[in-house]
Amino acid sequence: MPELPEVETIVRDLRRLVSGATILRTAVLRPDLIAGDVHDFEERTSARTIDRIDRRAKNIVITLGDDRLIINLGMTGRVLVQAPGEPEPTHLGVRFELSDERRMLYQDVRRFGRLTLLSDTEWEARSERLGVEPLSADFTAEHLYRLTRQSRMAIKPWMMDQKRVVGVGNIYASEALFRARVSPRKAARRITRREAAAIHDAVQEVLTEAIDFRGTTLADYRDASGDPGGFSLRLAVYDREGEPCPSCGSPIRKIVQAGRSTFFCPKCQK
C-alpha cells in the first residue's frame, strides 16, 4: 500500500498529534504482527514517552527513549489516532493507550505489516542496510547512474528494491518512469547518464507532489485521521490501462514485471 509519500504523511500527522504523549499501556491483539517476543513488546512500549517520530524508507520510526518502535505498514496497514469514545475499527492489531485517553491504533486487514521494537543501535544497523533516501542531498543523478551499472534487471523493478533507493513502490515507480520518458523494461545497466538524470528528477518531483497532496489512495490507504490521500486523480498512468496517455493520447499499457503490474505509454517511453 503505502509508499514514501503516504508514510511521510502519516509521520507528519503523528508528529502533530502524539509527539510528547505517553503510552500508558500496549495491547497486542494480533501477535503475528509483532516481530520478536510479544510480551516483551507490550512491556517495553508501556509507560513510555513518545520523544520523536521520523520516517526512514517506508518505515515509521517512533523514538521511545533508547528504543525505536518501527512500524512497516505492508499493503494495508494504518496508524490511527482516536479520541475517547470513537468506535474501534475492525481488523485491529495493536492498541496503544495514551495517557490523555486517546488511543493510537495499528489496523491491518491483510496483516503484511510488521511492528518491531529495537534498541537504537539495532535500528541504526538495520537502517544502514537500506538504500539512499530519494529526497535527501545524498541522492544525486550521478549516484543513481552509478548504482544502475551493476544490474541487468529491468529499471522498473530495479527502482523498487529498497537496498538501492528507498521509498519508491509500485505506483511511483511507474509514474516516475512515465515522467522521465524511460521504458520500464529497459535494463538498468543500459540507462544512459541523461536518462538517469531524468529519472532522478522525476522521482523527486513525483514524490514531492504526492506528499503535497497527502498521498495516493486507491482503496485502503488512510492518514492518521482516517482520511484518504488526494494524489489519486493526478496519476498519469498507474491503474489507467487502456486510457489515453496524457502526453500523446495513445492507450496506456499494462504489463507484469517481477510479479507486479507496470503501467506505461509504449509510445512516449522507449
Partner DNA sequence: AACGCGCCCTGTCCGC
Partner DNA sequence: TGCGGACAGGGCGCGT
The residues assigned a catalytic role are 2-3, 58, 260
Phi, psi angles (nearest 5°) of residue 224 = -70, -15
Residue with smaller CB distance to DNA, 217 or 269: 217
Residues in contact with DNA by CB under 7 A are 1-3, 6, 32, 57-59, 72, 74-75, 90-91, 109-112, 150-154, 157, 160, 162, 169-171, 188, 216-221, 256, 258-261
We find the least distance from the C-beta atom of residue 122 to DNA, in angstroms, to be 14
We find the least distance from the C-beta atom of residue 210 to DNA, in angstroms, to be 10
DSSP codes, 180-228 = HT--TTSBGGG--HHHHHHHHHHHHHHHHHHHHTT---SSS---TTSPP
86, 80 Cβ separation under 8 angstroms: no
Residue with smaller CB distance to DNA, 67 or 108: 108
Please report where in the chains the cell 517512533 appears, as a residue.
Answer: 62
Residue with smaller CB distance to DNA, 52 or 149: 149
Cell matching residue 87? 468506535
58, 4 Cβ separation under 8 angstroms: yes
Residue with smaller CB distance to DNA, 5 or 198: 5
We find the least distance from the C-beta atom of residue 164 to DNA, in angstroms, to be 9
We find the least distance from the C-beta atom of residue 25 to DNA, in angstroms, to be 26
Residue 43, CA distances (Å) to 38, 103, 114, 118, 257 in order: 9, 17, 17, 13, 43
